[in-house]
Structure 1
Amino acid sequence: MAAGAPSVNIGIEEADRKAIAEALSRYLADSYTLYLKTHNFHWNITGPMFNTLHVMFETQYTEQWGALDDLAERIRALGFNAPGSYAEFMRLSSLPEEPGLTETADWREMVRQLTVGNEAVCRSARQVLAIASPAGDDPTVGLLGERLQVHEKNAWMLRSLLQ
């Protein structure tokens, strides 16, 4: 900390802020991994569903990209550094990376993986909420509530394509 810089005193105890920031870092890693996978599938989709899924994936990854900044900035507002490297994201994420998939997978497998990915991000959000809510961290609770709404809707829309 720089000389003379005040400590973080936002009405949430340091231990709670740390626990929330750590959970948010895992959520950010899951969100970033899902963003990359969605963008990858947007670039590499082929077949009869090309146009529909190319546009859908673009809409989803564009929205996801915008949210990443809000998540990282929330971690910073809590007084901690946000992860920002591939190595950190891979270590923190619960979503597996599956390189080379696009060479062998058809659109159904891409949609299935994005459905599973959006559902995993929802579970990660709920883990953050379980820590942030009792600590009285209303900004994190609000942010994660918005993210849940987006990812639950994405999972539903993607799942509907496979039914």
Structure 2
Amino acid sequence: MKSEQAEIGIKKNNRKAVTEMLQQVLSDEFILYTKYRNAHWNVEGHDFHTKHVFFEEEYGKLELIVDEVAERIRMLGFYAPGTMREFLELTQLEENTPKQNDSISFMKILLEDHQKMIAFIRKSISENAEEHNDEGTADFITGLMQKHEEMAWMLRASVKTF
């Protein structure tokens, strides 16, 4: 992992540790973005149009998040991963697709991914603030977690059966 000088009041070894966490977050975000694109392109069924539009709206949100995470890594003085090989090596998410192309099948997989990401980010918040003296990144990822909580809620409400 290359770095550059960033005198921002955080020791380099702490910035490196924070950056390693952010590299996983970036990789997860990019894989999730790709999975939403797949759902958008391939969803079928009676609710095709509404879910096609829904998946497009959600991957639009993730596209912005991907850029924000990469830029946060750069602010800390390190380089962001930017290849599929790097993303696949760093992600905690699986590169999986549903057996059927209906919206519920796609949404269940996406929901699982959001929940994994929320748990990882939640664990990382206090670690960044307390252990690495980086309240800025702790605040940044708190915002990311809230975005994923909202996206997960939308999916959870959509797949709920009575």
Alignment of 1:55 with 2:39, yes or no, is no
Deviation string, structure 1 residues 22-48 (Cα, Å, up to 9, x no partner): 000001101110000011101111101
Which of 143, 146, 153 lines up with 1:146 in the alignment? 143
Distance in 2 (CA, whole Å) between partners of 1:141 and 1:57 is 28
Q: What amino acid is aligned across from residue 158 of structure 2 in structure 1?
A: L
By how many angstroms is 1:142 displaced? 2.1
Distance in 2 (CA, whole Å) between partners of 1:40 and 1:102 is 10
* Partner-residue secondary structure (3-state), 1:133: helix
Which of 78, 102, 105 lines up with 1:106 in the alignment? 102
> RMSD value over aligned CA atoms?
1.6
By how many angstroms is 1:104 displaced? 3.2
Distance in 2 (CA, whole Å) between partners of 1:45 and 1:106 is 6
Match of 1:125 in 2: 121
By how many angstroms is 1:108 displaced? 1.4
* Partner-residue secondary structure (3-state), 1:149: helix
More displaced, 17-26 or 114-123? Answer: 114-123
Distance in 1 (CA, whole Å) between partners of 2:156 and 2:40 is 17
By how many angstroms is 1:103 displaced? 6.8
Which of 130, 145, 161 lines up with 2:158 in the alignment? 161
Q: What amino acid is aligned across from residue 124 of structure 1 in structure 2?
A: F
Q: Check conservation: 1:24, 1:128, Cα contact below 8 A.
A: no
Q: Check conservation: 1:29, 1:90, Cα contact below 8 A.
A: yes
* Partner-residue secondary structure (3-state), 1:18: helix
Distance in 1 (CA, whole Å) between partners of 2:150 and 2:58 is 11
TM-score by length of 2: 0.89
- Point out where structure 1 has 5 or more consecutive residues left out of the alignment: 1-5
Matches for 1:63-78 after TM superposition, within 5 Å: 63-78=61-76
Distance in 2 (CA, whole Å) between partners of 1:158 and 1:7 is 42
Match of 1:79 in 2: 77
Distance in 2 (CA, whole Å) between partners of 1:102 and 1:50 is 16
By how many angstroms is 1:106 displaced? 2.3
Distance in 1 (CA, whole Å) between partners of 2:84 and 2:5 is 29
* Partner-residue secondary structure (3-state), 1:47: coil
Q: What amino acid is aligned across from residue 8 of structure 1 in structure 2?
A: A
Match of 1:3 in 2: none
Q: What amino acid is aligned across from residue 80 of structure 1 in structure 2?
A: F
